[in-house]
């Protein structure tokens, strides 16, 4: 074996980036050779490319396989870059004792190096900002996560399985799992265990990150999400352990909740969203909580921010607000807490540390549907669903749009239509484009991209306003104050 073979180059990189030594090179070579069914290739150059380039070269002979099968091989190879779970945890907490940032950066860099965080794929996402009346909204078209491979879909049709292991993609059992045709490979996946209020939880990074150091805090027990008093306690305890991150939860009801409701988890990371910088529309104190500052935010969704130094008091007040919201109705603004035995009200909570103060943002959510709005009364309305029709989850609540990959081609078609290079666009976009054209006197090749981005941003602003329970008009603001009074506010 020499460094001039692709496996030799890969082994060289593994030894350089891990605790393996030269003594291990034949062992490593043979383990990799086995994964690749005995196939090695002479390197085109003695100059070693990037690790991901070497791995891509190793996988070229398997290009006839499905994308899922190739990804299983990729994660098997990248697993050599990652310490075993016990060693990973030992090193993380050893670094944590010195500095929390040292520990997080260690985990983050290994997750990137081993391609658990899909660095190259994430670069495919399109990103821009929109200067809204609420602050700079962030827009991303999610192109990183691959579409299902037709070869995998065809195989799934012929496979009958009742395989329920792991139970879901957040379970601890994913750590090191090889993957299968209907489940992603997690061989290079590692979870940092930590104690959260005498429970075992895990910290991991999101493979398809939407923002800087996008991480997930995962319960070791597979149980449904639930927003309650324990949620607020856990979120504040998490930011005690990882004070450089925010921590938040999707809501726990369909329509207003996230994509995974069957496993308790939170999201976090090192990113300042527009909502975190939102100004107060008015400040007040709740009755009995003079030590906790409260405000309604100037934000398209209905947000109460509470701040204070005493965590227990914040939890107590947040729980009271949640309990009151669950029993509150105001027919004049279509707010109904329960119908046909189904609860409609919950909260999307976000916790962060701000100096000596703890902050909890409590976003009021209502998942009712109606004949006029069958997808949700407080959900993107039909006239904006050409841009966004999916649920408005935690990340979007805070001001970062995650738009579907279909929009890349559709917006390119709209660009050609606006430049008069084609007369055809998708039916669902026609009203949106006609409205766009009426607002601009002259559309040219120089300004068309900026115009489209501006209109997408404006539409996302409307999407968030649709999802807001109390609207940003005189009736909505009065109704929001009415709810605050229902919870109980201090006089003067």
pLDDT attached to residue 278: 97
Position 361 scores a pLDDT of 98
Q: State the pLDDT at residue 42.
A: 83
135-141 and 400-403: which strand pairing? parallel
- Residue 164 sits at φ, ψ, to 5 deg, of -120, 30
Distance in angstroms (rounded) separating the CA atoms of residues 303 and 347:
10
Q: Which residue has the tokens 């065809």?
A: 154
User: Which residue ranges of the chain lie beneath pLDDT 70?
Assistant: 1-3, 45-47, 146-162, 492
Q: Judge whether 263 and 220 are in contact, CB under 8 Å.
A: no
pLDDT of 157 reads 47
Structure confidence at residue 187 (pLDDT): 95
Please report the pLDDT score of residue 156 as a whole number: 45
- In 79-189, which ranges are continuous DSSP H helix? 85-98, 100-113, 119-122, 150-158
Predicted confidence at residue 44, as pLDDT, reads: 72
77-143-262-366 Cα dihedral, nearest 10 degrees: 160
Q: What is the pLDDT of residue 164?
A: 81
Other beta carbons within 10 angstroms of residue 224's beta carbon come to: 10
pLDDT for 367-405, tens place per residue?
999 999 999 999 999 999 999 999 999 999 999 999 999
């Amino acid at each position: 074996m020499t460094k001039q073979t692709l496996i030799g180059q890969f082994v060289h990189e593994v030894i350089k980036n891990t605790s393996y030594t030269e003594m291990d090179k034949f062992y490593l070579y043979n383990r990799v050779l086995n994964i690749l069914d005995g196939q090695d290739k002479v390197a085109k150059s003695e100059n070693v490319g990037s690790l991901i380039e070497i791995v891509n070269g190793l996988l070229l002979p398997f290009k006839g396989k499905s994308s899922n099968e190739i990804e299983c091989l990729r994660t098997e190879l990248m697993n050599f870059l990652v310490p075993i779970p016990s060693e990973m945890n030992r090193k993380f907490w050893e670094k944590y004792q010195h500095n929390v940032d040292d520990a997080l950066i260690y985990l983050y860099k290994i997750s990137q190096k081993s391609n658990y965080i899909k660095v190259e794929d994430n670069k495919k996402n399109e990103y821009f900002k929109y200067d809204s009346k609420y602050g700079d909204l962030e827009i991303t078209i999610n192109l990183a996560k691959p579409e299902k491979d037709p070869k995998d879909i065809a195989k799934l049709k012929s496979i009958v399985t009742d395989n329920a292991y792991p139970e879901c993609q957040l379970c601890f059992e994913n750590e090191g799992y090889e993957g299968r045709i209907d489940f992603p490979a997690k061989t290079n996946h590692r979870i940092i265990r930590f104690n959260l209020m005498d429970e075992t939880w895990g910290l991991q990074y999101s493979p398809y990150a939407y923002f800087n150091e996008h991480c997930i805090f995962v319960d070791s027990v597979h149980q449904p999400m639930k927003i309650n008093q324990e949620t607020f306690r856990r979120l504040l305890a998490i930011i005690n352990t990882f004070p450089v991150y925010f921590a938040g939860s999707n809501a726990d009801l369909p329509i207003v909740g996230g994509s995974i409701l069957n496993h308790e988890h939170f999201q976090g990371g090192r990113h300042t969203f527009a909502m975190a910088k939102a100004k107060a529309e008015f400040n007040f104190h709740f009755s009995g909580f003079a030590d906790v500052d409260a405000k309604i935010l100037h934000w398209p969704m209905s947000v109460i921010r509470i701040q204070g130094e005493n965590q227990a008091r914040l939890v107590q007040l947040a729980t009271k607000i949640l309990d009151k919201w669950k029993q509150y109705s105001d027919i004049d603004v279509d707010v109904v807490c329960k119908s046909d035995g189904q609860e409609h009200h919950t909260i999307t909570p976000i916790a962060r540390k701000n100096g000596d103060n703890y902050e909890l943002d409590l976003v009021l959510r209502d998942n009712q549907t109606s004949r006029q709005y069958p997808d949700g009364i407080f959900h993107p309305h039909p006239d904006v669903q050409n841009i966004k029709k999916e649920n408005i989850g935690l990340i979007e609540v805070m001001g970062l749009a995650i738009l579907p990959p279909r929009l890349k081609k559709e917006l390119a078609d709209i660009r050609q239509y606006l430049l008069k290079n084609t007369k055809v666009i998708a039916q669902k976009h026609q009203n949106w484009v006609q409205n766009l054209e009426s607002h601009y006197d002259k559309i040219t090749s120089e300004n068309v991209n900026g115009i489209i981005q501006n209109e997408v941003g404006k539409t996302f602003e409307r999407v968030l306003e649709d999802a807001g329970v109390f609207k940003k008009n005189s009736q909505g603001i009065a109704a929001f104050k009415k709810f605050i009074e229902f919870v109980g506010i201090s006089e003067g």
